[in-house]
Amino acid sequence: MSLISWETAMPTLLTERQRQLAHQVLFFDRPLAYEVAEALQRTTLACAENKVPTGIPQFFCGLYLQFGQELQSHFDGNAVALLERTFPKHRFGEKGLVTEKVLENAASDSDSSFGYSVALSDDLIRLLWAATRLADAVGRRTSLKDVIASITLENSWLEELRRNGVVPARKLHDFKDLLDVAFFVTVHAHGSWPKKMEFDLDGKIHQPFTASLKTPSGGFGAMKTASMKLNGKRIAEISWPDRSEVNVPVELQPKNKVEFGFDGSPFGSMEVTIRGVS
């Protein structure tokens, strides 16, 4: 049985009737917290006024119009530039929740009712559905943090923001990081720790390979100095605190031997990882 990652599988395209149901749930069943619902309203209105589709980058801009600095604390990049590029017409505050016509009518005491077409992209619907699922699991309405967490669930959503100059502000754990590991060991400086090891390379991980040496490991102390040989060739040295981490390209064989040299207290430690491409 083959295992397909849901991150790389082709997304399911919704039918028109399915989109109608999604719109009904998101806009009228009110699963979204008040401020997130307002951010979605800002998004759809700005998309209508700027005549652009309502997708994930546009929703990010709507979130920025609603939450401002709170959103920027979770992302690096120029959100202002993305906003101005995506929505040349935009308004913060209460004015961003109604159309320009309403603002004009309000000034003259005319009718202030308004309407516009809404068509969320399938990706945005899937994102909001995922965020609402997270909120459902803990018995609350969908918050900004649920939305931010959901954006990180699919690489395609992150990549769309990355292409627009926005990336998460924090390092994200990715299960693929584990699948790329060909060799890992934590080395300690006390005398009983082995200095020589062997490992086989299976066919699941391929070149290019990179070896990473880092001291200290976890809550242990740092190595004063440490080195590593791979198949008899000295490939890397580290020292604390001046050169505590190094990354070097390496070549692996079907069977490999590693050897460590180190100088430090008995509590000194380092982590050694060799990664390829799974």
With b for 16 or more beta-carbon neighbours within 10 A and e for fewer, the 83-118 pattern comes to beebbeebbeeeebebbeebeebeeeeeeeeeeeeb
Is 7 a member of any domain? no
pLDDT digits (tens, 9 = 90+) for 151-197: 999 989 999 999 999 999 998 888 888 999 999 999 998 878 889 99
Percent of the residues in the chain that have a pLDDT greater than 90, as a whole number? 75
Same domain, 163 and 187: no
Residue 34 lies in a domain: yes
- Is residue 82 within 8 A of residue 60, CB to CB? The reply is yes
39 and 84 in one domain? yes
Residue 220 C-beta-side C-alpha neighbours within 13 Å: 21
Are 215 and 272 within 8 A, CB to CB? no
- Mark whether 86 and 133 lie in a shared domain: yes
Residue among 26, 35, 29 at smallest CA distance from 118 = 26
Q: Where is the domain boundary, 168, 197, 232?
A: 168
Judge if 44 and 103 occupy the same domain.
yes
208 in any annotated domain: yes
Confidence of residue 6 (pLDDT cuts 50, 70, 90): very low
Say if residue 164 is in the same domain as residue 201. no
Overall number of domains in the chain: 2
Same domain, 160 and 24: yes
Higher pLDDT, 38 or 113: 38
* 226 within some domain: yes
pLDDT given for residue 111 in this prediction: 62
Of 152, 156, 85, the residue nearest 122 (C-alpha): 156
What pLDDT is recorded for position 109?
A: 61
Asked whether residue 114 falls in the same domain as residue 184, the answer is no
Domain-embedded: residue 4: no
User: Do the domain assignments include residue 3?
Assistant: no
Whether residue 139 is found in the same domain as residue 244: no
Tell me, yes or no, whether 9 lies in a domain: no
212 and 251 in a single domain? The answer is yes
Tell whether 204 and 113 lie within a shared domain: no
Contact between 205 and 109 under an 8 Å Cβ cutoff? The reply is no
Last residue in a domain, options 120, 151, 168: 168
pLDDT in tens, 106-128: 666 666 667 888 999 999 999 99
Give the end of a domain, one of 168, 183, 214: 168
Looking at the structure, do residues 181 and 146 belong to the same domain, yes or no?
no
Looking from the CA of 154 toward its CB, the CA atoms found within 13 Å total 22
- Output the pLDDT for position 106: 65
- 204: domain CATH number is 2.60.120.340
Same domain flag for 266 and 246: yes
Domain that includes residue 86, residue range: 16-168
2 in any annotated domain: no
CATH of the domain at 93: 1.10.1780
